[in-house]
Amino acid sequence: MPARRRQMSFEDLGTPLAEATLVVVDLETTGTDPSTDGITEIGAVKVRGGEVLGEFRSFVDPQRPIPAYVAALTGISDATVRDAPVIGTVLPMFLDFVGDAALVAHNARFDVGFLTAHAARLELTWPRPTVLDTLALARTVFRRDEVRDHKLGTLAAHVGASVTPDHRALSDARATVDVLHAIIARLGPAAGTLEDLGSAHRRTSPAQMRKKHLAEGIPAVPGVYSFVDIAGNALYVGTSRNLRSRVRTYFTAAETRRKVLDMLPRAEQVRILECRTPTEASVRELRMIAAEKPPSNRQGLTPEKALWLRLGPGREGLRAARLARPEEDGSAQIGPLVSRHDLEPLKALLTDAVMGRGRALEQHGASGTPLKGGHRARIRRALLEDPSEVLDHVAGRLRAHVAAGRYEEAERLRRTTLTYLAAARRASRLRAIGAVDLLVAARPSSDPVIGGRGWELLAVRHGAFAATALVPWSTDPVAAAQELAARRDPDLPVPAPMCQGHHQEAEILLGWLEGEGVRTVLVEGTWEQPARARFDAEALAERFARTAPDHDESTDTGTDADEDPDADAAGA
């Protein structure tokens, strides 16, 4: 169904600031390093046109001690967050609160750096929002002869903020809202659009000015765009829900990425591929990058490359593998892994949990001695079905490390365990969707293409995108699903174990299928995932809590998978 186009207007030059939704966020943390420190509190205020639309606030258990000086500064202690949810619970709720809004923070590099780092560790899709930094904007608007510095407290007092920042997340976010509004008022017409505000403290480069005409005539629809050189070769490929708005940002001062600025002088054209839905656009982007390998795209978007931790057939042990293999021969694999540096720690973790540390090093260390049948079966179970044995082992070691004050060792072990859980969960999801011959699902949509409420349908074959459609609410989704099932995409990847070669595409589709309101309409084959496969951070936190000396088992809720003989599988 072709997308409807509308006549361009002055509003197409950018998003009017009065209509832009902004989420002003502030974090409290255990330190300053996103790779090692945790978040203790998230506070945010959602505003549009000067009106507060909602607020978000939650303490977060950082699962590590809060330094005394941080507790003294923020008033957030270990006792404060003892019963708080972990970041794996809070961050998805915060991202739902943000939605499609732009993010605003004072010293945004700090707050957004923590959010993106934790999203990556949890394998959550980061929505790549527009980010505004009130610190950078304030340095442009309020000169040093007007304010002594640009700290949030100084600026809040200077503009007469209604809230005094006090190193607590929500209070600081509320104060930042008042500072932001003061900045907008000071900029006046120069901040008429969201894009203008985002680039108010920067200047466009000469190349951006010369190439700005390349953004003319691009429609405001979902799709894929590619910057191409004079020979027609792709230099950079991207995707957006709104091609017109996204491409225009490349020619504003908000674009500061060196790889993009270096690419623009060579660009002679912007080609577009219109798509029915943003999901289709994301898939088409992956396939185009894999086929054309544009030099300016970021690393990591190479679907044909992967790294797995594989338990071989027979008596073979754990090893690295570049290709996923069928598992009918008794082998098993988890991944894809983020880094090759994760391999040895994961091998040590699994063999230590099953065989004991000394025996693991002796029997499966440098010598590479094959695993015995019983040990091998238990490791395979930990890879495919049930992490309980590994988590019980890790929880005991973590408690011993903490009791002895060995916090760095505890943190290294915790990270390795989270890497294992993430890799096993990725593999479990890929294994499930890759086994389905055909799956068609629907979710509610309010896309203007269908004139209001309707359905977005998605067809998946063996973990690969097959087709999509937008249909009005009054249309029978079953009939539309049957029509999708009859379509054949000539670019459809060949079915492969664990979606090898298109695992990134499969994970995009899995994210869609796990969204709110999704309904399965048509299935050919089996679509299910192991109910025992609790490969998540919360499972580790629960096991660790049980090792506390004062733990009361009678307060536990839920049932261990190994105590529930009927929990073999559940339909997804």
Structure tokens at 95: 């991202």
Question: Looking at the structure, do residues 23 and 101 belong to the same domain, yes or no?
Answer: yes
Structure tokens at 180: 């932001």
Question: Looking at the structure, do residues 85 and 156 belong to the same domain, yes or no?
Answer: yes
Identify which of 55-59, 373-377, 539-543, 549-553 has the greatest average pLDDT. Answer: 55-59
> Which pLDDT tens digit goes with each residue over 184-207?
998 887 777 887 787 776 667 888
Helix (H) or strand (E) holding 438: strand 438-445
User: 227 has which bridge partners?
Assistant: 236, 270
> Which pLDDT tens digit goes with each residue over 379-395?
999 999 899 999 999 99
The span from the CA of 432 to the CA of 449, in Å, is 33
The span from the CA of 135 to the CA of 155, in Å, is 9
Residue 194 resides in a domain: yes
Is the bond into 336 cis (omega within 30 degrees of 0)?
yes
- Inter-residue contact 34 to 112 (CB < 8 Å): no
pLDDT value of residue 301: 59
- Inter-residue contact 467 to 484 (CB < 8 Å): yes
Residue with tokens 């607590």: 168
3-state helix, strand, coil in the chain (%, to 5): 45, 20, 40
Residue 5 resides in a domain: no
Q: Which range of residues forms the domain containing residue 495?
A: 436-525
Task: Give every strand in the sheet of 332-334, ordered side by side.
Answer: 318-321, 308-311, 332-334
Provide the CATH number for the domain around residue 253. Answer: 3.40.1440.10
The pTM (predicted TM-score) of the whole model is: 0.66
Question: Looking at the structure, do residues 156 and 61 belong to the same domain, yes or no?
Answer: yes
pLDDT grade for 14, boundaries at 50, 70 and 90: low
Residue 22 resides in a domain: yes
Question: Looking at the structure, do residues 39 and 171 belong to the same domain, yes or no?
Answer: yes
Structure tokens at 347: 């091998």
Question: Looking at the structure, do residues 398 and 536 belong to the same domain, yes or no?
Answer: yes
Provide the CATH number for the domain around residue 49. Answer: 3.30.420.10
pLDDT greater than 90 at residue 326: yes
> Last residue of a domain, which of 198, 225, 246?
198
> Last residue of a domain, which of 198, 223, 241?
198
Question: Looking at the structure, do residues 513 and 567 belong to the same domain, yes or no?
Answer: no
In DSSP notation, 174-236 reads: HHHHHHHHHHHHHHGGGGSBHHHHHTTT----HHHHHHGGGGTT--SSSEEEEEE-TTS-EEE
Number of domains into which the chain is organized: 4
The span from the CA of 229 to the CA of 234, in Å, is 7
pLDDT value of residue 364: 45
Residue 314 makes CB contacts below 8 A (sequence gap 6+) with 330, 370
Strand stretches in 10-139, DSSP E: 21-29, 39-48, 51-59, 102-105, 131-133
| Closest C-alpha to 242, from 291, 180, 201, 194 | 194
- Inter-residue contact 467 to 459 (CB < 8 Å): yes
Residue 125 resides in a domain: yes
pLDDT value of residue 572: 30
User: CA quadruple 428, 434, 436, 441: dihedral positive or negative?
Assistant: positive
Question: Looking at the structure, do residues 164 and 226 belong to the same domain, yes or no?
Answer: no
Residue with tokens 């690393």: 299
pLDDT greater than 90 at residue 514: no
The residue that leads in pLDDT, 69 or 559, is 69
pLDDT greater than 50 at residue 365: no
Residue 247 resides in a domain: yes
Instruction: Give the Cα-Cα-Cα angle 188, 193, 199 (nearest 5 degrees).
Output: 85
pLDDT value of residue 3: 39
> Which pLDDT tens digit goes with each residue over 246-270?
898 898 877 878 888 899 999 999 9
Q: What would the mean pLDDT of 340-352 be, rounded to a whole number?
A: 94
pLDDT greater than 60 at residue 7: no
Q: What would the mean pLDDT of 418-432 be, rounded to a whole number?
A: 94
pLDDT grade for 8, boundaries at 50, 70 and 90: very low
In the chain, the percentage of residues whose pLDDT exceeds 90 is: 56
Question: Looking at the structure, do residues 32 and 85 belong to the same domain, yes or no?
Answer: yes
Residue 4 resides in a domain: no
Question: Looking at the structure, do residues 53 and 149 belong to the same domain, yes or no?
Answer: yes
Question: Looking at the structure, do residues 333 and 450 belong to the same domain, yes or no?
Answer: no
pLDDT grade for 373, boundaries at 50, 70 and 90: low
Check residue 106 and give left, alpha or beta (phi > 0: left; psi -120 to 50: alpha). Answer: beta
pLDDT value of residue 302: 67
Helix 407-434 / helix 388-403 crossing angle, nearest 10 deg: 160
The span from the CA of 302 to the CA of 467, in Å, is 22
Q: What would the mean pLDDT of 421-450 be, rounded to a whole number?
A: 89
Question: Looking at the structure, do residues 121 and 51 belong to the same domain, yes or no?
Answer: yes
Q: What would the mean pLDDT of 334-358 be, rounded to a whole number?
A: 88
> Last residue of a domain, which of 198, 228, 251?
198
pLDDT value of residue 371: 61
Question: Looking at the structure, do residues 464 and 416 belong to the same domain, yes or no?
Answer: no
pLDDT value of residue 297: 85
The span from the CA of 323 to the CA of 501, in Å, is 9
pLDDT value of residue 335: 93
pLDDT greater than 80 at residue 10: no
Q: What would the mean pLDDT of 418-428 be, rounded to a whole number?
A: 94
Could you give phi then psi for residue 380, rounded to 5 degrees? -60, -40
Residue 3 resides in a domain: no
Residue 359 resides in a domain: yes
Helix 343-355 / helix 373-384 crossing angle, nearest 10 deg: 120
Minimum mean pLDDT range among 77-86, 322-331, 560-569: 560-569
The residue that leads in pLDDT, 403 or 372, is 403
pLDDT value of residue 229: 96
